[in-house]
Amino acid sequence: MLAYNQKSFLIVDDFSDFRSSVRSMLRELGVKDVDTADTGEQALKACAQKRYDFVLHDFNLGDGKKNGQQVLEDLMLDKLLSHESVFIMVTAENSQAMVMSALEWEPDAYLTKPFNRAGLAQRLEKLVQRKTLLKPILQALDKGLPMEVLAACTRLTQEDARYAPLCHRYKAEALRDLNQHEPLEAFLKTILADRPTPWAFGALGNLLFKRKNLAEAQDVYERALKTFPMLPALYDGLADVLVARNDGKRAQQVLEDAVKLSPLAVRRQSLLGKLAMENQDFDSASRAFRQAVNQGQYSRFKNPETNLGFAQALISKGGDAGLDARSRVELNQTLTDVAKDNNDDQGIQVRTRLIKATSLQRSNPEEAAKLAEEAVSRLQSMDQFLSAEAALSVAAQLQNLGQDEAGVGVLKSCAEIYGDDPQVMQNIAKQTDDPAILGSNKIAIDYNQQGVRAYREGRFVEAQALFRQALALQPKNISIALNLAQGLLHAKGVPITGAGLEECRACLRTVGHMPESDARFERYQKLRNRAFGA
């Protein structure tokens, strides 16, 4: 028997009857330290204050509340729960929670209600045994050391080959974290050749997707869904691949299937909304965004883009007929919420005003004009960079609202900031023929490319000069500024001078206005830590 009197427990359930009944079962097992919570928020707070050895969490804590899966994700992502602790998901019906679950974060065990004391004791005992067996792996995970995880897996497998399958997943995740792509691919394929395994399908699809091997990734997901048609996470993976292959229509269908299985997923609903917008399916778009906004309230994936997307979808759905009364209420609500939540975000303030103005253009042109002017004046005093996508839609709205000059300004700065991305330039070309915008950055981008070549070939001083020339022409271009910063900081054999460091810091200060959602944000952070000290 376990020494339960040393262990701490947290019971999370919205029914007090259930909490007290589990508490008394635990008492009979000798447990002394039991805390309870009735919402996910409380559970997170409790775990932030105290390290629990066991968490017994009810999956369904009521409509519109955080569910057990969301709490588990929060606990793991915020590192509020050690890998050595045991998380048990308690469900009323066995399959429901599993359909909802993401493949990445799974509880240590599911326990179906009703259960008795003997059943609970058996599960606890066995889970502790397993955690003890895997202890070296779990400790390495807590420390965030994938190399050590790998070594621990190898050791365990050598000690007792019969338990090797229990290490598979830890090993695959460690290889992923170490970017050991080839060994990971080979390993996952061996597992799948032996047995179709849901997580291994997901991991292989994801890896192939990351390595831009899109056709094979699609094939993997399609095979996986033939065997496991009830796992929404696999649909998500397939949709990502289809989007990358420019098949937005099918990607939308795939996500529609996934939300039928599991509607409670903020990211899935927002991506669906976005795809439906692109496919001009405004009914589906507003439905999906509405779901995403409502669910997002309690989710860590709450995102202002969802509210803005919802408002935009409602306007497009109304079309020439304008908004009906219900849609208008929804639109105002969602814009008010997002503006309030993002009070300090100038970009969001501008965009909410423009969307509101667009919605009022017919019914109240005076108010629309007033809002548009307000947006323009905020725009002019703004340092922050809009994302390319946001800039393009802002430009279109400004033109539509008669603020042509401001619209052109936004396109111009978008071309400067993102001009090295041909996709962005193509989208800009859809809105303007102005050669001053479309051609202005050609020379700078050419210098930049030469600079990249020089840097790769180890001609660091030359690379710096080229990047510098490029940046002088396009001072806000994120790629060029990052390249110059990196060229100054990481030039082998050319130690950075005081002036060089100042120049590097100036580059980073300028592009520090980039949106956090930008793919290069992580690279920027690393350079910044280096240049300014962490």
Partner 1 sequence: MSENNSGLDFSMVIASIVHDMKNSLSSVMTAHGKWSQGLPEEQRNTAERGVIDYEFANLNGMMVQLLGLYKLGVNQLPLRPEYHEMDDFIEAQLAWHQEVLDSRGISASHDVDVLCPLGFFDRELVGSVVANVIINAIRFARGAIHISAWEEDGQLVLGINDDGPGYPPALIESQSAYVQGINPVSGSTGLGLYFAARIAERHERNGVVGRVELANGGSLGGGYFKLYLP
Give the range of 16-24, 402-410, 427-435, 456-464 binding partner 1 by CB under 8 A.
16-24
Give the range of 51-59, 108-116, 278-286, 506-514 binding partner 1 by CB under 8 A.
108-116
Which residue, 183 or 229, has its beta carbon nearer to partner 1?
A: 229
Burial of 42 (C-beta count, 10 Å sphere; 0-12/13-18/19+): middle
Whole-number minimum distance, CB 453 to partner 1, in Å?
49
- The span from the CA of 252 to the CA of 46, in Å, is 39
Which residue, 57 or 168, has its beta carbon nearer to partner 1?
A: 168
Which residue, 57 or 356, has its beta carbon nearer to partner 1?
A: 57
CA 250 to chain centre: 22
The answer to the question of residue 3 lying near partner 1 (CB under 8 A) is no
Task: Specify the amino acid at residue 513.
Answer: H
Which residue, 195 or 492, has its beta carbon nearer to partner 1?
A: 195
Query: Closest Cα partner for 308 from 344, 271, 356?
Result: 356
In the set 19, 66, 123, 476, which binds partner 1 (CB under 8 A)? 123
In the set 59, 110, 187, 467, which binds partner 1 (CB under 8 A)? 110
In the set 98, 264, 452, 501, which binds partner 1 (CB under 8 A)? 98
The answer to the question of residue 30 lying near partner 1 (CB under 8 A) is no
DSSP type of residue 497: P
Which residue, 65 or 130, has its beta carbon nearer to partner 1?
A: 130
Give the range of 73-81, 87-95, 138-146, 388-396 binding partner 1 by CB under 8 A.
87-95
In the set 113, 223, 250, 370, which binds partner 1 (CB under 8 A)? 113
Task: Specify the amino acid at residue 435.
Answer: P
- The pair phi, psi for residue 86, each rounded to 5°, is -105, 125
The strand pairing partners of 10, in sequence order, are 35, 55
**Helical ranges in 33-178 per DSSP H:** 40-49, 68-77, 94-100, 117-133, 135-143, 146-159, 164-177
CB-based contact 368:358 (threshold 8 Å): yes
In the set 45, 79, 126, 520, which binds partner 1 (CB under 8 A)? 126
Whole-number minimum distance, CB 214 to partner 1, in Å?
27
In the set 3, 64, 116, 493, which binds partner 1 (CB under 8 A)? 116
CB-based contact 198:170 (threshold 8 Å): no
Cis peptide before 114 (omega within 30 of 0): yes
Tokens of 226: 């033939």
Of all helices (H) and strands (E), which one includes residue 422?
helix 422-431
Query: Which positions lie near partner 1, rule CB under 8 A?
Result: 17-18, 21, 24, 28, 92-95, 98-99, 110, 112-119, 121-123, 126, 130, 162-163, 165-166, 168, 194-198, 227-231
